[in-house]
């Protein structure tokens, strides 16, 4: 699970995974945010980047929002200062000059929180990339009619609203989503257009013969395809927008026959990390 580290300013803890080389070699720093009603422990299994931390030199911080279960969610007033503290603690422990790039990763409401954080000066000036795991797309993908937790209200205003427009910050962007969560994936990207990228290209599918680690056990009676079922092997379609300015990585990933809560499988996790590591960085080093 990683080391449990205490933020002395807030007296809150977070999970920290790091490779043996951290502090001597350059690494990719990931701040890994869970979705609404979830926790850092669950998110650690949903996006199990720790499994490849030594191979790719990853330092991964996985915190938990302050609000209590079952409605736990990221709130600016309660959480932003703690999240800034986590970034500063990692930079102090390992040396900011060793942080080759800094990525925000967020599932669901954690993805929308990442979008919001990227519009604040602290994160806009430091973040090199955002990985949205079913957490909203820059240039929206229409939700499937039955998207959302089974039994959740479909009334207007019952779902969180993502920030309007595009952030002003510069960063790479990867969007991953379950096939059953969206009506369709657009074949264009306003974020790719911003960086003058070429037309979207489909590259090799990613095939997993092993399941992910976690699922939503609270919503399996009965389950829905859109929300997510039990972990299973899978196939993911990968689309990239080539030749973006400054080498930015911009990609869309559709996990076939998957929904919102099925944890990522090993091979698609590895492929996403490869994309993250290929993107330009250095913003935090320059702070």
pLDDT tens readout for residues 130-168: 999 999 999 888 888 888 888 654 444 445 677 778 999
CA dist 82 and 65 (Å) reads 9
Q: Give the pLDDT score at 151.
A: 65
- Is 282 in a helix, a strand, or coil? coil
- pLDDT above 90 covers what percent of the chain? 83
List pLDDT tens digits, range 12-55: 999 999 998 877 889 999 999 999 999 999 999 999 999 999 99
Reference 270, options 202, 206, 183, 213; nearest CA is 206
User: How far, in Å, CA of 184 to CA of 242, rounded?
Assistant: 21
- CA dist., res. 33 & res. 83, Å (int): 10
Q: What is the pLDDT of residue 117?
A: 98
With a cut of 70, list the residues of the chain below it in pLDDT.
Answer: 151-160
* Alpha helix positions (H), 105-155: 109-117, 121-124
Distances 185 to 131, 138, 236, 251 between C-alpha atoms, Å: 16, 12, 13, 12
Strand partners, 254: 177, 237
For CA atoms 50, 52, 54, 59, the dihedral sign is negative
pLDDT at 221: 85
Q: Which of 97, 28, 18 is nearest to 279 (CA)?
A: 28
How many angstroms separate the CA atoms of 158 and 165, rounded? 21
pLDDT at 206: 98
**% of residues, the chain, pLDDT over 70:** 97
């Amino acid at each position: 699970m990683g080391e449990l580290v205490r933020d002395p300013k807030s007296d809150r803890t977070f999970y920290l995974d790091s490779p043996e080389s951290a502090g001597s070699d350059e690494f990719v720093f990931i701040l890994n945010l869970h979705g609404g009603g979830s926790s850092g422990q669950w998110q650690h299994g949903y996006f199990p980047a720790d499994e490849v931390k030594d191979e790719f030199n990853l330092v991964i911080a996985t915190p938990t929002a302050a609000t209590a279960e079952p409605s736990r969610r990221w709130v600016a007033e309660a959480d932003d200062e703690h999240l800034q503290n986590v970034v500063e603690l990692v930079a102090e422990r390992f040396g900011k000059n060793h942080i080759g790039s800094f990525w925000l990763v967020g599932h669901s409401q954690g993805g929308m929180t990442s979008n919001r954080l990227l519009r604040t000066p602290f994160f806009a000036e430091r973040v090199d990339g955002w990985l949205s795991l079913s957490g909203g797309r820059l240039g929206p993908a229409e939700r499937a009619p039955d998207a959302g937790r089974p039994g959740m209200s479909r009334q207007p205003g019952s779902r969180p609203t993502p920030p309007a427009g595009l952030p002003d910050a510069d960063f790479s962007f990867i969007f991953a989503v379950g096939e059953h969560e969206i009506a369709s994936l657009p074949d264009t990207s306003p974020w790719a257009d911003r960086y003058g990228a070429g037309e979207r290209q489909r590259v090799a599918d990613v095939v997993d013969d092993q399941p992910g680690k976690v699922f939503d056990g609270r919503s399996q009676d009965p389950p829905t395809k859109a929300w997510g079922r039990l972990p299973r092997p899978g196939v993911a379609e990968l689309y990239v927008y080539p030749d973006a300015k400054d080498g930015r990585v911009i990609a869309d990933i559709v996990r076939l026959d998957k929904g919102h809560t099925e944890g990522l499988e090993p091979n698609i996790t590895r492929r996403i990390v490869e994309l993250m590591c290929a993107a330009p960085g250095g913003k935090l080093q320059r702070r």
